[in-house]
Structure 1
C-alpha cells in the first residue's frame, strides 16, 4: 500500500516510517525539512509546512494514498486543513492523539469510552499543560467527523524507546547506568506506564492493513516504581517521599514519568490496554525497551532534566529526615 506520514523523521514518525517500510509498503513523508533525516533513500520526501494551512500542503496536490498517518497534528489549525484537503485522496486517516484527552479521571483503569476533556476552540494555538489535552480532543473530533469509519484514533501513553529526544524516559535509563546513589521518587509503590514506540508503530501498520477503525488506547505494562528500578538495574536507590520532593520544589519536568499514586494526573498511569490487546497489539518486554534506549542514548548527548547537583541537594535533605523551614 501507499502510505503518507505527516511528520515522519523524528522519534514516533521515524519509527512509523520504518515500520511501514518493513511491512513492504511505500512511504511518503511530509515535513518542513528542518530536522535531521536519516531515513532510507526509498522514502519519498515531500516538503510542506502545516502551520501555513492549505498553502503548506501544495506538495500533496493530485496525489492519492491508501492511508494518512498524522503524527504531527497538535492544533486544529494544522489538522483541519490536512484532513479536509486529503478527504478524497486517502482511504483512511489515522490520527495519533494522546491519553491526555481524558484529563484526570476518577474511575480507573481508564477506558476508551471514558469522558473526554472539554474541546478547545479551533482558534487556540498555544500548546501547554492546560491546552494540550483539549486541543487533541478538538483534533480528534475534526478527523472523526470528516472520515467517520475511515478514521482511526490512537491514544498512546507516554512513548518510550530509542530516538526519544524528549529525554523523559532516557533520563532514568542513563541515570541508572551512571551508578552511585540514585534518587527514586516516592516509596516504590507508585506506578508508571509507557508504550514502546516500536509497539505503537507496529500497531499503526496493523490498523491500516486490517482497516481497524475507532479509538485505541496504546499502553504498555503497568509497573510499580520499585519494579521499574529493578528493570533499570539501579543498584543504590534512595527513595525520597513526595512530601520532600514537593517541599524542595521538584517539578514533574525534573523527574519525568513520576506521578504519585493519587496525585494530579495519576489516572493516566492506570490506563486499560484490554481493547488494543484484543485487536492484536504485541508488547515489548520493558527490559528490551531499557536496553535499546540505553544503547541509543549513549551517543545522543541528551541534557538531563534533573542535574547531578540538584539530585544531590534533594538527597541531602531526604537523609536529614527533616524538612527545611
Structure 2
C-alpha cells in the first residue's frame, strides 16, 4: 500500500473481473487510483485497460489451479466469481496470509424468508449447502452462497466483508434480465405499439446500478470496513419504473391473464408481485450500506445507459412479439367482456 497525498493507494486482486459486475468493479478501482490484478480462467472476452495485470487460473481445480498466486501479496481481494464452496475454500485458504481484506460478492438469494418486507441483513438464511456440492442451479444458488459466506467469514473473521447485491443493472449486463425493459421500451417508442407491463403498476422493483456497486466495494476497501451489507437500489413502483425506462405506451396485464397465456418470470424478468413468495427481494433494505457510503444513480440514468449499450447487442429475449401480442389481445378481450 502506498500513499498519494492523503489517500492510500491499494494493490487489489479481483477474482473474475472481465464481465459485468467484475468489470465495473475493476473500473471503479482504477478510477480511484488503485492498482489492479485480475485472476480469470481466460474464457471471457477481456476489454479491460492494459494497466490491469492479468493472471490465469481456475480455483475449481483447488490449490493446483491457483499457482499464479503463489508468492504474491495484495492489500485486498474482491471475489466477484465465487459460486461454489470448493472454489471459495481454495481461494480463501490460498490468500489467508496474502491479503488483508477479503470482499466476497454474495446475493440476497441467501435469505430464507424471501416474502419478508423489508429484507434486512439480520434475517434468517437458507440452510447451507454441503461443501462438496458443485452444481449451481436456481435451487442451489442461494444455499451455495450461504456456505461460501461462512467459509470467507471463518477464514478471514473481521477481515471479511460480505456484499449481498440485489438485481444488478447497467451496461455490459449479459444476463438478459434488466436490459429487456429499456430495450422493449425503446422498441415500443420506435414502432408506436404498446408494450406489456405486469400487474397494475403498484408492485415494486429494485435494481442496483453495477457502477454504484463497484464504487461501494471500493469505498469499503478504502475504509477497511468489515461486516455484511445488502446492496440495493431505489425501490420503485412498476408504474414509476415504466416512466424511468421511457415507456410511452403501456398495457398493464394482470397475473390471471399472464398465467393463462403461459407468461412467467422468465418472460418478464424482474417482476415479483409484492405479495408473492419472493416479493421481499424487491424490498431490500440497504440502510446499512447507505450509511457506509453507498451512493445511488438515478433509475432513469441506469436505464438510458443500459439501453445505449444494449442497442448494439441484438439480445434474444424469452418473450416473443407474438406471445406478447396474444397476451395484449387477451387482456383487451377481457376488458371488452367486462364492459358488456
Q: What TM-score does the superposition give when structure 1 sets the normalisation length?
A: 0.97
Distance between the aligned counterparts of 1:239 and 1:93, measured in 2?
A: 45
Give the match for residue 237 of structure 2: 224
Counterpart in the other structure of 1:315: 328
Provide the residue aligned with 2:3 in structure 1: none
- SS of the equivalent of 1:142 reads helix
Q: Aligned to 1:75, which of 64, 70, 84? A: 84
Equivalent position SS for 2:319: coil
Q: May I ask how many residue pairs the two structures share in their alignment?
A: 322
TM-score (normalizing by structure 2):
0.93
Q: Distance in 2 between matches of 1:65 and 1:55?
A: 20
Matched, 1:245 2:245: no
Q: Cα offset for 1:107?
A: 3.4
Change (3 A) 1:294 1:27: same
Distance apart, 1:103 and its partner CA? 3.3
- Corresponding residue to 1:274 among 287, 304, 318: 287
Relative distance call for 1:240 and 1:106 in structure 2 (3 A) is: closer
Contact conserved, 2:79 with 2:105, CA < 8 A, in 1? Answer: yes
Secondary structure at the counterpart of residue 321 of structure 1? helix
**Deviations 1:193-217 (Å, cap 9, x if unpaired)?**
1100000000000111000100000
Q: Tell me the equivalent position of 1:3.
A: 12
1:91 aligns with 2:104: no
The structural deviation recorded for 1:106 is 4.6
Secondary structure of the residue aligned to 2:179 is: helix
Tell me, in whole angstroms, the C-alpha distance in 1 between the residues paired with 2:268 and 2:36: 37
- Give the secondary structure class of the aligned counterpart of 1:65: coil
Alignment partners' CA distance in 1, 2:317 and 2:136? 23
Match of 1:210 in 2: 223
Q: Deviations over 1:262-297 (max 9, x none)?
A: 112111101111111111111001111011101111
Pairwise CA distance, 1:261 = 1.2
The 8 Å contact of residues 104 and 268 in structure 1, kept in 2 or not, is answered as no
Pairing 1:25–2:34 present? yes
**C-alpha distance in structure 1 between counterparts of 2:230 and 2:318, whole Å:** 28
Q: Residues 171 and 305 of structure 1 are in contact (CA less than 8 Å); yes or no, is this contact kept in structure 2?
A: no
Q: Which runs of 4+ in 1 moved over 6 A?
A: none
Is the partner of 2:75 in helix, strand or coil? strand
- 1:172 equivalent in alignment to 2:181: yes
Distance 1:106 1:298, change over 3 A: closer
1:26 CA displacement: 0.5
Q: Decide which moves more: 123-132 or 86-95.
A: 123-132
1:305 maps onto 2:321 in alignment? no
CA drift of 1:305 comes to 2.4
Task: Check whether the contact 1:104–1:266 (CA below 8 A) recurs between aligned residues.
Answer: no
Supply the distance in 2 between the matched residues of 1:138 and 1:23 (Cα, whole angstroms). Answer: 32
Q: Contact 2:115–2:281 (CA<8 Å) still a contact in 1?
A: no
Structure 2: segments with no counterpart, 5+ residues: 1-9, 336-340
Does the CA contact (< 8 Å) of 1:101 and 1:116 recur in 2?
yes
Task: Please provide the CA RMSD for this pair.
Answer: 1.0
- Give the counterpart of 2:195 among 162, 179, 182: 182
Kept in 2, the 8 Å contact 1:191–1:269? The answer is: yes
Once residues 75 and 91 of structure 2 are traced to their aligned partners in structure 1, the CA distance between those partners, rounded to angstroms, is: 15
Which one of 157, 161, 164 corresponds to residue 170 of structure 2?
161
**Native 8 Å contact 1:32 1:49 kept in 2:** yes
Distance 1:313 1:167 in 2: 22
1:38 correspondence with 2:51? no
The CA deviation at 1:155 is 0.2
